[in-house]
Amino acid sequence: FFSGGGGGGGKTLLDYFSLVILCHKLQESMLSSASSFRNYRGVLNWCVVMLVLSNARLFLENLLRYGILVDPIQVVSLFLKDPYSWPAACLVIVSNVFIFVALYTERKLAMGSISEKVGLLIYIFNLTVILCFPMVVVLKLPSITPVGGAFTLGVYTILFLKLYSYKDVNRWCRVRTQVKARSLSRSLSCPSSPSASSCMQSHVSYPGNLSLRDMYYFVFAPTLCYELNFPRSESIRMGFLLRRLFEMWMVPIIRSSMKPLQVCSCVPNHLIWLIFFYCFFHSSMNFVAELLRFGDREFYRDWWNSETITYFWQNWNIPVHKWCLRHFYKPLLRRGAGKLLSQSAVFFASAFFHEYLVSVPLRMFRLWAFMGMMAQLPLAWFVAKFLRGNYGNAAVWLSLIIGQPIAVLMYVHDYYVTHCQDDPTITEAL
């Protein structure tokens, strides 16, 4: 290298010395916020390793003392009081009736056998019954456990949001077709986005989408927003599917290892919430999406970087946020409602559903969940006005670490006072 070998040797030596002579440049330390460095993947892995290590001792201790805590009989007893009566499962099976009513109504509307007004009336009736019927059954039937009730109401709420979306999208397709027909367009079908069509195998256009197969694909797909042609992935990746399945099975084990800490502070409660976020929004949804080859995997965005409460609600639960924007918020804005009124209406509806999903299965109406959700509006205003950057991010984390366990504690306390004060086994367990 130094002798250079040939005519170019001197030039190479010069290059070398020019490079080694300068070894400093103006730059920030990586951990400084002024540096543009943002890759903290190693730190995240360190957190996971620390979490596993700090819980391993507890996990082993539990295993030796109590054996495996994930007892399938116990899990089943959360859903069932009496093994001969399966009210929650029966309710979920009955929900198919509402799906058939929606599909049948859409077919009639597409054929022009019923008017838009009659179709809307049928939908209003169908959607109202979807919310009221399981509520009445859960309240009246003592054999339904709180977990079974919450699961059933969750299924019905998801179905309500899905069928609402189904109604809107099919109506938009009809309006589009009519507008096109009026403007003498030759195309009678609903267009799809050009980028999406490239990865689609079969392209459906209205009213060809009104089939049982299409309806049930939407019912099981991990989204609340209906579309005629969902983006699809090319194949099912078995490795990916198994990894998500493994993660889903890990959650009850980690949760059990935290049991002894649960009563001490709100931090384990918060950790369990984080683990469930990962399990539900990442593992389960990706598992279902992979199985159905559902292409849009944006189930959450980086809510952990939220510097405002608004950013948190825009990014933490994307399926619900997407539904709120598409079927509630934007239609309200289009009808001339102000931004604040529309936002308040969305949070009011969300507060209603949160309360519905907690109060009905527990059979007690305390409005803690409702108030917690409605409190997001003034909290969002406060954080946006007075806190910026990292302070805003810390405020969002604090509201999650403290606010949510307080609401849970309120319900646990009230449930204990009203239902189990006299039951020595439950008193001992708490």
Interacting residues toward ligand COA by CB under 6 A = 310, 313-314, 317, 320-321, 324-325, 329-330, 333, 339, 343, 346-347, 350
Q: What single string gives the DSSP state of each residue in 302-320?
A: -GGG-SSHHHHHHHS-HHH
Catalytic (active site) residue 354: yes
Task: Report the phi/psi class of residue 230: left, alpha or beta, with left for phi > 0 and alpha for psi in -120 to 50.
Answer: beta
Cβ neighbors of 154 (< 8 A, separation 6 or more) are 357
Our CB check for ligand COA shows the closer of 333 and 420 to be 333
Our CB check for ligand COA shows the closer of 57 and 330 to be 330
Q: Which of 321, 327, 354, 419 is catalytic?
A: 354
What is the rounded CA–CA span in Å between residue 220 and residue 336? 35
What is the rounded CA–CA span in Å between residue 415 and residue 421? 9
Query: Angle, nearest 10°, between helix axes 339-362 and 146-182?
Result: 150
Instruction: Let me know: does 409 contact 265? Beta carbons within 8 Å.
Output: no
What is the rounded CA–CA span in Å between residue 110 and residue 116? 10
- Smallest gap from residue 386 Cβ to ligand COA (A): 19
- Smallest gap from residue 303 Cβ to ligand COA (A): 10
What is the rounded CA–CA span in Å between residue 94 and residue 82? 20
- In 219-234, which positions are buried (b, 16+ CB within 10 angstroms) versus exposed (e)? bebbbbbbbbbbbbbe
* Beta bridge mates, 80: 144
Residue with smallest beta-carbon separation from ligand COA:
350
What is the rounded CA–CA span in Å between residue 214 and residue 103? 10
Instruction: Let me know: does 174 contact 110? Beta carbons within 8 Å.
Output: yes
What is the rounded CA–CA span in Å between residue 188 and residue 23? 67
- Smallest gap from residue 89 Cβ to ligand COA (A): 25
Which has the closest alpha carbon to 277: 310, 299, 305?
299
* Beta bridge mates, 144: 80
Our CB check for ligand COA shows the closer of 310 and 404 to be 310
Which has the closest alpha carbon to 399: 286, 324, 294, 311?
311
What is the rounded CA–CA span in Å between residue 237 and residue 128? 40
- Smallest gap from residue 347 Cβ to ligand COA (A): 6
What is the rounded CA–CA span in Å between residue 366 and residue 355? 9
Our CB check for ligand COA shows the closer of 158 and 333 to be 333
CA 256 from centre of chain: 23
- Smallest gap from residue 94 Cβ to ligand COA (A): 25
- Residue 39: CB atoms within 10 A of its CB come to 8
**Amino acid type, 167:** K
Exposed/middle/buried for residue 263 (C-beta within 10 Å: 0-12, 13-18, 19+): exposed
Instruction: List residues with catalytic annotation.
Output: 354
